[in-house]
Amino acid sequence: MKKTDFLIAGVLSITLAGLSNNFSSRMAFADEEGVVSHEGVTEPTKALMDDIARRMDNIFNGILAGSFKYVEQEAGAIVDQSYLINKTFFPIDPRESKWLKRAKIDPNDSERITKLKDEFNVYLKGIASSALEIKKAAGSNDQKATFKAFVTMVEKSCFECHAEIRDKMIPIENR
């Protein structure tokens, strides 16, 4: 790998390790009903994003270790998680969405919620397709291609969605 690849890998590793250390000890899962409150984690949207962040950290570590079966497994789990995002952020009854409350979006503003949901769908497709690309690259046991697919997902799905949706919607003190 080039020096820049190692630099990117190092920065991502430190970032993702820090994220996983902050979140993994604070999550508790119920049965298929979803996430329950535990030590400050009170809403399913945060717990879902924390779980995806943990899986991204696992993928990165799996790539570095050359554990491609593990990377495929975690990428597949992210595909599964991507389908839960819309359900979690936009429940059938918008008044039940804690995320909308935190973002100070009126649950009766169906036009704004529909527009926001459509924007989310673009990123959801990006998450699923990016995770499938990671899974495909890992299936070929090609470390460099798998890492490239991972970085692309972080840049094109994670960072772009956060910049466009989370960072513009929710003040940093409410995250």
pTM for this entry: 0.63
For the chain, state the CA radius of gyration.
Answer: 17
Beta bridge mates, 38: 41
Domain membership of residue 121 as a residue range: 3-174
Cα distances (Å, whole numbers) of residue 130 to 13, 51, 52, 125, 140 = 19, 17, 13, 8, 16
Beta bridge mates, 35: 29
Task: Say how many domains are in the chain.
Answer: 1
Q: For every one of its 175 residues, what pLDDT tens digit does the chain have, with 9 covering 90 and above?
A: 566 565 565 555 555 555 444 444 333 333 343 444 334 444 566 777 788 889 999 999 999 999 999 999 999 999 988 888 778 778 888 888 877 887 788 989 999 888 888 888 888 888 899 999 999 999 999 999 999 999 999 988 877 777 776 666 665 665 5
Phi, psi of 112 (to 5 degrees): -65, -40
Beta bridge mates, 14: none
